[in-house]
């Protein structure tokens, strides 16, 4: 293990978006540090900028102001390298409709040139309890089953961080609990940092720490 842990450092970041008539300031001067092996929930009201904050932390967007520092394997890296060491889970499952379950899982490994992609995908299908769904395409799977595939896909490349944006937003309460448990178990088993934007109080309570983004301020939940 490197002496310097894998971290994301947000330093006095600001962000906004422009409408036809005005500029909407989402937040200004936010700072926090996110560690690998930590499960962190970001909560707050709709429109507060939670998804934008997540995208900035993941290297998907640049902040309007401030700086972001990514440290992977003890070295400073750029946003592209950060993304290559990350997994993503969204409210919409974003599975490839023409691929079956095992094909969707194997795809990120194949894109990285992994010759054992199918074997690793089969192991992950078993881990998430969908071994018997290997040859089913997304339209043949329930929403919960599709999200289980999406969770496994996020972790299958052994990323240092996984970012989840409302991952249970399209699921019923029972299925949401199962998916939340699966995500947290995967993060713990792999030593991966998990950052979750959620409206779900139950999901936030499963996280090791929670941050509240509201009125342009970021505060640690009690």
The pLDDT, as a whole number, for residue 202 is: 85
Q: Which domains does the chain have, with CATH numbers?
A: 7-220 (3.40.50.300)
Task: Give the full edge-to-edge strand order of the sheet including 209-214.
Answer: 86-90, 161-165, 193-197, 39-43, 209-214, 217-220
Angle at 97 (CA atoms; ends 175, 156), nearest 5 degrees: 60
The pLDDT, as a whole number, for residue 4 is: 60
How far apart, in whole angstroms, are the C-alpha atoms of residue 34 and residue 181?
21
The pLDDT, as a whole number, for residue 221 is: 81
**How do 209-214 and 39-43 pair as beta strands?**
parallel
**Across the strands, what pairs with 160?**
none
The pLDDT, as a whole number, for residue 1 is: 44
The pLDDT, as a whole number, for residue 133 is: 95
The pLDDT, as a whole number, for residue 222 is: 65
The pLDDT, as a whole number, for residue 3 is: 54
The pLDDT, as a whole number, for residue 17 is: 87
pLDDT in tens, the chain (222 residues): 445 679 999 999 999 988 889 988 999 999 999 999 899 999 999 889 999 999 999 999 999 999 999 999 999 999 999 999 999 999 889 999 999 999 999 999 999 999 999 999 999 999 999 999 999 999 999 999 999 999 999 999 999 999 999 999 889 989 999 999 999 999 999 999 999 999 888 889 899 899 999 989 999 886
Let me know: does 90 contact 167? Beta carbons within 8 Å: yes
């Amino acid at each position: 293990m490197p002496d310097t842990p894998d971290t994301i450092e947000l330093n006095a970041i600001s962000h906004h978006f422009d409408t036809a008539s005005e500029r909407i300031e989402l937040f200004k001067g936010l700072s926090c540090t996110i560690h690998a092996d930590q499960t962190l929930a970001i909560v707050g009201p709709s429109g507060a900028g939670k998804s934008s904050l997540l995208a900035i932390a993941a290297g998907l967007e640049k902040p309007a102001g401030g700086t972001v520092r990514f440290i992977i394997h003890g070295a400073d890296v750029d946003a592209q390298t950060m993304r290559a060491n990350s997994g993503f889970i969204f409210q919409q499952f974003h599975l490839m409709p023409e691929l079956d379950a095992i094909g969707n899982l194997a795809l990120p490994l194949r894109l990285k040139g992994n010759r054992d992609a199918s074997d690793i995908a089969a192991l992950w299908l078993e881990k998430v309890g969908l071994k018997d769904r290997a040859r089913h395409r997304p339209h043949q799977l329930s929403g919960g089953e599709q999200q289980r595939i999406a969770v496994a896909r996020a972790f299958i490349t052994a990323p240092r961080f996984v970012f989840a944006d409302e991952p249970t937003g399209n699921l019923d309460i029972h299925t949401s609990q199962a998916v939340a448990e699966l995500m947290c178990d995967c993060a713990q088993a792999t030593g991966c940092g998990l950052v979750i934007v959620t409206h779900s109080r139950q999901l936030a309570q499963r996280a090791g720490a929670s941050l509240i983004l509201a009125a342009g301020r970021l505060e640690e939940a009690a």
